[in-house]
Structure 1
Amino acid sequence: MAIRERLSGNEAIAYAMKQINPDVVAAFPITPSTEIPQYFSQYVADQAVDTGLILVESEHSAMSACIGSQSAGARTMTATSSCGLALMWEMLYVAASNRLPVTMAVVNRALSGPINIHADHSDSMGARDAGWIQLYSENNQEAYDNFIQAVRIGEHAQVQLPVMVCQDGFITSHSIENIELMEDEVVKNFVGQYEPVTSLLNPHEAIAIGPYDSAAYYMEHKRQQAEAMKNACQVAKEVATDFEALTGRRYDYFEAYRMEDTETAIVVLNSTAGTAKSTVDTLRAAGKKVGLLKIRMFRPFPQEEICQALAHLKAVAVMDRSEGFSAAGGPVFAEVRSALYPLEQRPQIINYIYGLGGRDVTTQHIEMVYESLFDIMETNDPGEVYRYLSVRE
């Protein structure tokens, strides 16, 4: 039976961690993710979990500790943001290449400099090619649900990859919303007992963790990682099906909102999807055929499915809450435009960089994006493809 509560996004993640009861949590504080290990430490103090909580001297050390404990066969978790994720950079690749299914909450925050503590996606987008599965969360409920599903996805025998579950700093991490929680036993049964494929503490099988990999073998190991990432697509769908059977909440690679008969759509991640949905409803009421595609799983990238979902449109705006400094658009735009390339008749596609450093994104801003799409449909000319939204030029 569902438990109705009111929690912030950080509280929701910490509560999910409590219900999962991991073997190890290693963490170092950084705004706005600090509350997650802080809340969890209270569960440790109250003996509500059996977890070994390791408080280290840096985020690099936090991920190093996670790698050590996961290598030993312990289900391991952590949380970080922004420069904390950047300090983990070297170890992100180590965790992924060693096929260690660490689960990490990433509370998205702008990267320095100039220093800024507010939400954008420059941290997790910078790590998009580190070999981690990435799930993005519109609201607190989705952050909770994604974190629980992430454990099963990453630990699956055909995947064995680390997973980061992202949500927007302060916007959802510190905002209290109504939420439906599962009962503790239901969560524990859903994630199951962790049974590592290999372990340093397995006396019956000698293994090496992190050895030197020469040119004779390195490519084969990268190919194995790539195949595991492909496998994660099907595993994520299977886990979502099981989750829906338990909760009634349906998840897929993305959410297609009012897309059936639409001519134009916005593609977006995380909390801005809620603002965009409100705008879609308003424009629909005025007779405008608009829709929204909210990407939930960015790694692995569901290229074929996104292509199919957008193929019938006339104009698409992809919104990036991070700047890729490619001089050609943001990272989400690059992926979506690439996905559409096989189509003989492609929709016109433009990119908006928005909300950097926590700049507000209102329904009026989203309406401006749709208005630009209406203009493109009328003229069949995308004009400037690489744009900024709500910026003083």
Structure 2
Amino acid sequence: MAIKERMSGNESIAIAMRQINPDVLPAFPITPSTEIPQYFSKYVADGLVQTEFIPVESEHSAMSAAIGAQAAGARTTSATSSAGLALMWEMLHVAASCKLPITLACVNRALTGPININADHSDSMGARDTGWIQIYSETNQEAYDNYIQAVRIAEHKDVMLPAMVCQDGFITSHAVENIELLEDKEVRDFVGEYAPEDSLLNPGYPISHGPYDTATFYMEHKRLQAESMKKAKKVILSVAEEFKKVSGREYGLFEEYRMEDAEYAMVIINSSAGTAKVAVDELRKEGKKVGLIKIRVFRPFPMEELAEALKHLKAIAVMDKSEGFSSAGGPIFAEVRSAMYDLSEKPSVVNYIYGLGGRDFTVDSAKQVYDEIEDIKGTSIDDIYRYLGVRG
């Protein structure tokens, strides 16, 4: 039975963690994810979970402790943001290469340089190639639902990779929204018990984690990681089907919004999708055939599926809330444009860098983008790489 509540995105993640009841949670506070371990530490103090909560001295230590715990056979989770994720950098790669299904709540915030504490995606997009599954959340509800599903996805025998669930700092992490929670037992039954085939504490099958890997074996191990990431797509969809039976809520690799007869579309992630949907609805009332695709799963990237969903369009605006500093556009643009490469007839595709450091993205901003891509004629475009809402 659904429990109707009102809460912030951070609290919804903390509730999901409480219901999952992980064995270990190491964490270090950083804005705007601090509330997640703060809420959880109270659950520990109140005896609502049996989790070993480890307050560490840094985010590098948090992920190091998570790796040790998960390698020992303990279901482990954590939370961080921005520079905290950057400080975990080395250990993100270790967790993925050891194929340890740690789950991490990433509350998106701009990376320092200059100092900024507002939402953009430079943190998680910077970590996109560390070998972690990445799932993005438009709303508090999605953050909650995604986190519960992430445990099952990461721990699946065909995957065994760490997963981060992302949501926008302050915009959803601190904003209060209506939400439907599952019963504690429903969540516990859904995620099940963690029973790893390999662990450091299994005396009957001695193994090592993170040994020196020579050139003789390194490529083979990387290939195994890559194959697991490919297999994750099927597992993500399978877990979503099971979650729908429990919750009534439906999830895929991405969401198509008013795309059935669209001629122009926006590709976007996280909370900005909600703003853009309002613009789509208003423009539809004016008779304009516009639509939107919200990417939910960025790693593994749904290349074939996305190309199929976009191939009938005249023009596409790909929205990046982070810079790639490639001089050719942002990270989402690079992936989406690559996905379109094999199409015999390609839509025009342009990139918009927007919202950096928390710069507002409004309904009027989204309408401006749609107006501009409607004016595109053919595939020859001078300004493919654009900035939205920047001065000068």
TM-score bracket, shorter-length normalisation: over 0.9
Deviation string 1:254-312 (CA, Å, 9 cap, x unpaired) is 00000000000000000000000000000001100000000000000000000000000
1:351 corresponds in structure 2 to 351
Deviation at 1:322, TM superposition (A): 0.2
**3-state SS, counterpart of residue 19 of structure 1:** helix
User: How many Å separate the matches in 1 of 2:340 and 2:174?
Assistant: 36
Q: How does 1:24-103 map to 2 (within 5 A)?
A: 24-103=24-103
1:242 corresponds in structure 2 to 242
User: How many Å separate the matches in 2 of 1:48 and 1:209?
Assistant: 32
* Residue 391, structure 1, aligned to residue 387, structure 2: no
2:251 corresponds in structure 1 to 251
Q: How does 1:286-365 map to 2 (within 5 A)?
A: 286-365=286-365
Deviation string 1:296-334 (CA, Å, 9 cap, x unpaired) is 000000000000000000000000000000000000000
Deviation at 1:380, TM superposition (A): 5.8
In 1, are the aligned partners of 2:138 and 2:272 still within 8 Å (CA)?
Answer: yes
Letter in 2 for 1:369: V
Letter in 1 for 2:143: A
User: How many Å separate the matches in 1 of 2:167 and 2:366?
Assistant: 20
* Residue 154, structure 1, aligned to residue 154, structure 2: yes
Letter in 2 for 1:391: V
1:382 corresponds in structure 2 to 381
Letter in 2 for 1:115: I
In 1, are the aligned partners of 2:347 and 2:379 still within 8 Å (CA)?
Answer: no
Deviation string 1:181-214 (CA, Å, 9 cap, x unpaired) is 0000000000000011200000100101110000
Normalization by structure 2: what TM-score?
Answer: 0.99
Deviation at 1:381, TM superposition (A): 4.5
Letter in 1 for 2:137: S
1:125 corresponds in structure 2 to 125
In 1, are the aligned partners of 2:120 and 2:321 still within 8 Å (CA)?
Answer: yes
**3-state SS, counterpart of residue 371 of structure 2:** helix
Deviation at 1:224, TM superposition (A): 0.3
Letter in 2 for 1:386: Y
* Residue 144, structure 1, aligned to residue 144, structure 2: yes
User: How many Å separate the matches in 1 of 2:42 and 2:366?
Assistant: 40
Q: How does 1:256-271 map to 2 (within 5 A)?
A: 256-271=256-271
1:276 corresponds in structure 2 to 276
Deviation at 1:248, TM superposition (A): 1.0
**3-state SS, counterpart of residue 334 of structure 1:** helix
2:23 corresponds in structure 1 to 23
Deviation at 1:104, TM superposition (A): 0.1
User: How many Å separate the matches in 1 of 2:355 and 2:344?
Assistant: 33
Normalization by structure 1: what TM-score?
Answer: 0.99
Count, aligned residues = 392
Deviation at 1:382, TM superposition (A): 3.0
2:198 corresponds in structure 1 to 198
2:109 corresponds in structure 1 to 109
User: How many Å separate the matches in 2 of 1:383 and 1:262?
Assistant: 24
**3-state SS, counterpart of residue 134 of structure 1:** strand
1:221 corresponds in structure 2 to 221
User: How many Å separate the matches in 1 of 2:282 and 2:379?
Assistant: 25
In 1, are the aligned partners of 2:70 and 2:102 still within 8 Å (CA)?
Answer: yes
- Once superposed, what is the RMSD of the aligned Cα atoms? 0.7
Percent identical: 68
Deviation string 1:28-82 (CA, Å, 9 cap, x unpaired) is 0000000000000110010000000000000000000000000000000000000
Letter in 1 for 2:268: V
Gaps of 5+ in 1: none
**3-state SS, counterpart of residue 4 of structure 1:** strand
User: How many Å separate the matches in 1 of 2:269 and 2:80?
Assistant: 19
Letter in 1 for 2:77: M
User: How many Å separate the matches in 2 of 1:121 and 1:201?
Assistant: 37
Deviation string 1:338-369 (CA, Å, 9 cap, x unpaired) is 00000011000000000000011000000000
User: How many Å separate the matches in 1 of 2:387 and 2:290?
Assistant: 21
